[in-house]
Structure 1
Amino acid sequence: MLLAGSVLAGLVGLAGCGVPDEDSPRPIEPSLIIGSPPAQAPSNPAGAVVERLYLVRDDQLVAVERRVGSTADVAALLGDLVAGPTEAERDEGLSSALTGTDLIAGVRLVDGTAEVSFRPQSGGRTDDILAIGQIVCTLDARTDVDTVRFLLDGQVLKVPRADGSLTELPLTVADYRTLIAER
């Protein structure tokens, strides 16, 4: 009997605290979120990420920064580089030693080394110091790239440093520092 009385008192108490009756339903805005808020995808508004590319002016490499919507992978970054300067960059006298070439077959990132594969070219050249410098400096500007190596048919390719010496060792921006001009 004591248990039945306690249950009845609890029900009466609950009936007394509640939401008053209303004629029609209305939305309720919660003032407190219980639990974890729903996960939201990180957003990168257009222009939130800086992409650094190296272009050419007067036989020197010039760093340019472009604002893009998201960080590009190494292949997309090289695609932007090969596409050449924008109209505004051309108006500043910038060009590219890579524009119009199909020399690059692909690129992949392996343990911090960007491996750039060249296409076999009949009569094509891989000795253009500015073109190689553009690729190395652009890729080395990324935080996930430590060095750059060039391949042809899967074999390491000798390419020129800024001083004209050929090397098959991985390269960095330091190998082309003497070619870099202030913007």
Structure 2
Amino acid sequence: MIARKINAGKAIVALSFFALVASGCSFGPESTSQIIPESQQQQLDDSTSSDEAEIGFGRVYLQRTESTGASILTGVQRDISSDPFDVVQVLLNGPTKTEQEAGLRSAIPASTEVLSARYVASDLVKVDLTAEIFKATGDDLVSSVAQIVLTLCDIAGIERVLIVVNGQVNEWPKGDGSLTSQALTAYDFPGRAISSQPFYPAIVDPLTNK
């Protein structure tokens, strides 16, 4: 009888231990953001900017002024890779002549240069710019920051963008005018951009031609 109790006790302990181990296993969703060690960041940049980097249609965001006087951002297609540095460089090149004639411009000062743009986490890109970015003030600075953030967040996997100047952390305006030194997301600029999809043509009734 005593032996049975001892065996039953051992069984309970074993089951409890198994349950504890099982509960320690991660069956739930893991965080999508994984920090990339600094020693590996350059390797990742090199791999994405190599000749094997995927080339395809991406988008950069430019600004136009509405008839109401309000500024709005719109995405325009570019044949670019998914490498963050290349994408920012193309954005800083500004609108084409045809786009300028269509009323598009960039709020980012033309003399602004990108020093680096690299992944520091699986969903986070850090962009280092020169101080010329500060030539933009007021709403133009908001649009400049939004152009960079929205353009990079258009790349699959990128959800956050940290902007620094000459390696130094700065505060940047969000769409609501508040300042932050943290990484920015597309959701920080609600209503700042419109869809890049063309308007659908009006549907005409073949019977009435209206």
**1:166 counterpart residue number:** 179
Q: Letter of the aligned partner of 1:55 in structure 2?
A: L
Which residue of structure 1 lines up, in the alignment, with residue 61 of structure 2? 54
**Is contact 2:175-2:188 (8 Å) kept?**
yes
Which structure has the greater CA radius of gyration? Answer: 1
TM-score by length of 2: 0.57
Displacement after TM superposition at 1:137 (Å): 0.3
The amino acid of 2:72's aligned partner reads Q
Residue 101 of structure 1: CA displacement?
Answer: 2.3
Three-state SS of the structure 2 residue aligned to 1:101 is: coil
Count residues with an aligned counterpart.
138
Question: What's the CA shift string for 1:85-136, capped at 9, x where partnerless?
Answer: 1122222211101251225332111112111113245974576101000000
Residue among 84, 95, 107 paired with 1:85: 95
> Which ranges of structure 2 fall in alignment gaps of 5 or more residues?
1-50, 66-70, 197-210
Percent sequence identity over aligned pairs: 28
For residues 188 and 148 of structure 2, the distance between their equivalents in structure 1, rounded to whole angstroms, comes to 12
User: Any residues of structure 2 matched to 1:52-131 within 5 Å, and which?
Assistant: 52-58=59-65, 59-66=71-78, 68=79, 71-111=81-121, 112-120=123-131, 124=135, 128-131=141-144
Q: TM-score, normalised by structure 1?
A: 0.65
**Alpha-carbon shift at residue 179 of structure 1 (Å):** 1.0
Q: 2: CA distance between counterparts of 1:121 and 1:56?
A: 18
**Which has the larger helix fraction?**
2
Residue 132, structure 1, aligned to residue 132, structure 2: no
Report the equivalent of 2:163.
Answer: 150
Paired residue secondary structure (1:178): coil
Residue-by-residue CA offset, 1:9-37 (whole Å, 9 max, x unaligned): xxxxxxxxxxxxxxxxxxxxxxxxxxxxx
- Structure 1 regions of 5+ residues with no counterpart? 1-40
- Off by >4 Å, runs of 4+ in structure 1: 121-127
- The CA RMSD over aligned residues, in Å, is 2.8
The one-letter code of the counterpart of 1:118 is L
Letter in 1 for 2:116: G
Contact 1:104/1:117 (<8 A) preserved? yes
**Secondary structure of 1:174 counterpart:** helix
* Partner Cα distance (1:157, 1:89) in 2: 31
Question: Which is further off, 153-162 or 89-98?
Answer: 153-162
8 Å contact kept, 1:126–1:159 = no
